[in-house]
Amino acid sequence: MNKEWDAPPIVIDDLRKTFGDQKVLNGISLRVEHGETVAVLGRSGTGKSVLLKLIIGLQPSDSGTVSIEGQRINDLDANQLNEVRKKVGFLFQEAALYDSLTVEENVAFPLNRHTKMADADRKERVRELLESVGMEQDLEKMPSEISGGMKKRVGLARALALDPSILLFDEPTAGLDPITAAEIGTLILDFKQKRKMTAIVVTHDIRGAKAFSDRMALIHEGNILAEGPLAELQESKHPFVTQFLKESS
Amino acid sequence: MLNTISRTLAPGGLRDETRANSIFVKGFEWFGDLGLFCARVFRAAVAPPSELGELVRQCDTIGAKSLPLVALAGAATGVVLSLQTHDALTRFGAKSLLPAVIVFSIIKESGPVITGLVVAGRVGAGIGAELGSMKVTEQIDAMEASSVNPYKFLAATRVLACVLMLPLLTLAADFSGLIAGWLANTLADPISFRLFLENGFKNVLFSDFIPPTFKTAVFGFIIGIVACFQGMRTKGGTEGVGRSATSSVVLSSLFVILADVVLVRLIQMVWG
- How many other CB atoms sit within 10 Å of the CB of residue A76? 16
Look at residue B8 and tell me whether its pLDDT is greater than 50.
no
pLDDT at A216: 93
Burial of A137 (0-12, 13-18, 19+ CB in 10 A): exposed
Contact between A97 and B141 using a beta-carbon 8 Å cutoff: no
Give Rg (Cα) of chain B. Answer: 23
Which of A78, A82, A94 is the closest to B138 by Cβ? A94
Question: What's at B61, amino acid-wise?
Answer: T
**pLDDT computed for residue B15 by the predictor:** 67
How far is the alpha carbon of B121 from chain A, nearest alpha carbon, in Å? 21
Task: Summarize the confidence of residues B65-80 as an average pLDDT.
Answer: 95
The residues facing B37 across adjacent strands are: none
Interface test with B, best of A98, A151, A171, A202 (most B CBs within 10 A): A98
Mean pLDDT score, B243-271: 94
Nearest CA-CA partner of B191 in B77, B109, B100, B104: B100
- Give, in order, the Cα–Cα distances in Å from A193 to each of A72, A187, A196, B156, B164: 28, 10, 6, 42, 52
Q: Give residue B10's pLDDT.
A: 53
Model confidence over B96-137: pLDDT tens digits? Answer: 888 899 999 999 999 999 999 999 999 999 999 999 999 999
In sequence order, what DSSP letters do the residues of A82-130 get, joined into one string?
A: HHHHTTEEEE-TT----TTS-HHHHHHHHHHHH----HHHHHHHHHHHH
> Residues of chain B with pLDDT > 90: what percent?
68
Contact between chains at B141 and A53 (C-beta distance less than 8 A): yes
Residues 6+ apart with CB under 8 A from B218: B259, B263
What three-state secondary structure class fits A41?
Answer: strand
Task: Answer for the pair A171, A115: CB distance below 8 angstroms, yes or no.
Answer: no
Q: Which of A161, A86, A76, A170 is nearest to A126 (CA)?
A: A161
Sheet of A63-68: strand order equals A22-32, A10-19, A63-68, A71-72
Residues with Cβ within 8 Å of B136's Cβ and at least 6 positions away in sequence, in order, are: B234, B235, B236, B237, B238, B240, B241
Q: Do B146 and A85 touch (CB under 8 A)?
A: yes
Give the pLDDT score at B11: 54
Distance CA A53, CA A65 (A): 13
Q: Report the alpha-carbon distance of residue B202 to residue B99 in Å, rounded.
A: 10
pLDDT digits (tens, 9 = 90+) for A58-94: 999 999 999 999 999 988 988 899 999 999 999 999 8
Phi, psi at A226, each rounded to 5°: -145, 145
SS3 A30: strand
Whether B146 and A110 lie within 8 Å, measured CB to CB:
yes
Could you tell me how far CA B230 lies from the centroid of its own chain?
Answer: 15
Question: d(Cα A151, Cα A157) in Å, to the nearest integer?
Answer: 10
Distance of CA A87 to the CA centre of its chain: 12
* Residues in chain A with pLDDT values less than 50: 1-3
Average pLDDT over all residues of chain B: 90
| Mean pLDDT confidence for B62-68 | 94
pLDDT digits (tens, 9 = 90+) for B172-231: 999 999 999 999 988 888 888 898 888 888 888 888 889 999 999 999 999 999 999 999
Q: Stretch B90-94: mean pLDDT, rounded?
A: 83
Query: Using CA atoms, how far apart are residues B192 and A26, in angstroms rounded to an integer?
Result: 79
Closest Cα in chain A, distance from residue B252 (Å) = 25
Contact B145 A56 (CB under 8 A): yes
* 3-class secondary-structure state, position A168: strand
Average pLDDT estimate for B130-157: 94
CB contact under 8 A, B147 and A82: yes
**What residues of A are in the B interface, CB distance below 8 Å?**
53, 56, 58, 78, 82-83, 85-86, 88, 90, 92-94, 96-99, 109-110, 113-114, 158
The one-letter amino acid code at A51 reads L
Q: Do B147 and A56 touch (CB under 8 A)?
A: no
Chain A CB contacts of B131 under 8 Å are none
Q: In this prediction, does ipTM exceed 0.95?
A: no
pLDDT of residue A146: 93
A-proximal residues of B, 134-153, CB under 8 Å: 134, 137-139, 141-149
Q: In chain A, whose CA is at the least distance from the CA of B147?
A: A82
Residue B5 has a pLDDT of 47
Phi–psi pair at B32, nearest 5 degrees:
-65, -45
A chain contacts of residue B142, beta-carbon cutoff 8 Å: 90, 92, 96-98
Smallest Cα distance from A31 to chain B, Å = 21
Q: Count the neighbouring beta carbons within 10 Å of the beta carbon of residue B240.
A: 16
Q: How many residues does chain A have?
A: 249
CB contact under 8 A, A99 and B142: no
pTM for the model? 0.86
Q: Look at residue B242 in the predicted model and tell me its pLDDT.
A: 94
Q: Which of B138, B141, B146 sits opposite A113 (nearest CB)?
A: B146
Task: Please answer whether residues A158 and A106 qualify as being in contact, where contact means their C-beta atoms are separated by less than 8 angstroms.
Answer: yes
Segment B74-91, tens digit of pLDDT: 999 999 999 888 888 888
